[in-house]
Amino acid sequence: MVHDPSILTAVGLYLVAAVCVWFSIGRQSRRWRRISIISCFAGASAHALAQSEHWLTLTTPDVSLQNLLSLCALVIVLMLCISVFARNSLYDASLVVLPLTVAILMLEWLVPSPSLVLTDTSFGANLHVVSSVLAFGVLSIAAVYALFVTIIDHFLRHHHLNPLVKSLPPLETLEGLLFQLIAMGFILLTVSLASGIAFIDDLFAQHLVHKTVLSITAWLVFGLLLWGRWRYGWRGRRAVRLTLAGIILLVLAYFGSKLVLEVILGRSWRT
């Protein structure tokens, strides 16, 4: 089994990447930034190898709370890595994302969780899983950037700029990126909700009421935010609060309901 060594390798590389990106911010050093990016790519490769044990080497995917959290974290890290080739890089968000990813990997490594082997391999089921993970990944990055917007806004209001704030793009640029991410995540979340209909045979018997209601509520929050941005030019604190409210609802919708069912009650959404 390459699972455990791959997880620990990813943890080490992610920690190196996080430290290096901090140095690059504090010292305005491109060298430290390059080292961080290389370490992050290497960590993501080890992370992907660990995840392949659950998703690719088995006849059907082996799903658990920790595996799904880890997969979502991997998607976020990969998006950050790929963004370094874009004009407006999202990589500065790794300063927050990488420590959180390390915590998730340690949770996956140390804490056992009941697993669910999916047997439904229809196109609709696969589309639902992929779009759900991607939607959560994109919107999680949006939430991280919303926190960055809050930090920058706070320091600007108090006329105090530290190296971290100075290293980030201007507030207007971050807000533009924030809404681009929210729009992308909203589209993916729409696909996820639409394709999820194929999974629901009995809403109550499958214990999906809370998950469905919370997911739709999150979809409405993000939709309201995008409409407000288009119609009234919403930005700043209002945008941050609605973004964070939406991602909290998504976390509660999937991981909260799954935690209660599988870890606390020892049940599955199929039973």
Statement to judge: residues 85 and 150 lie in one domain: no
Which residue, of 111, 128, 161, is where some domain finishes?
A: 111
173 to 9, 168, 179, 249: CA distances (angstroms): 35, 9, 10, 26
How many whole angstroms separate alpha carbon 247 and alpha carbon 180? Answer: 15
Phi then psi for 62, rounded to 5 degrees?
Answer: -100, 105
Domain that holds residue 57: 1-111
Domain's final residue, options 47, 76, 111: 111
Are both 101 and 192 inside the same structural domain? no
SS3 assignment, position 1: coil
Q: Which two tokens stand for residue 189?
A: 């979340």
Q: Give yes or no: residues 135 and 252 share one domain.
A: yes
Residue 100: the pLDDT is: 87
pTM beyond 0.75, yes or no: no
| CA 217/CA 94 separation, integer angstroms | 28
Q: 72-75: which pairs have CB atoms within 8 A and are 24 or more residues apart?
A: 72/133, 72/136, 72/137, 72/140, 73/47, 73/97, 73/100, 73/101, 73/104, 73/105, 74/44, 74/47, 74/48, 74/101, 75/133, 75/134, 75/136, 75/137
Could you list the mean pLDDT of each consecutive 10-residue stretch along the chain, which spans 271 residues?
80 95 82 94 94 70 72 88 84 86 89 60 70 84 83 75 64 79 92 77 52 88 95 86 91 67 46 44
Residue 53's pLDDT is what?
A: 81
Is the domain of 78 the same as that of 128? no
Domain count for the chain, please give it: 2
- Tell me what pLDDT residue 1 has: 46
- Whether 138 and 66 share a structural domain: no
Residues 88 and 187 grouped into a single domain: no
Answer whether 207's CB lies under 8 Å from 257's CB: yes
Domain boundary among 86, 111, 136: 111
**3-class SS letters over 56-111:** CCCCCCEEEHHHHHHHHHHHHHHHHHHHCCCCCCCHHHHHHHHHHHHHHHHHHHHC
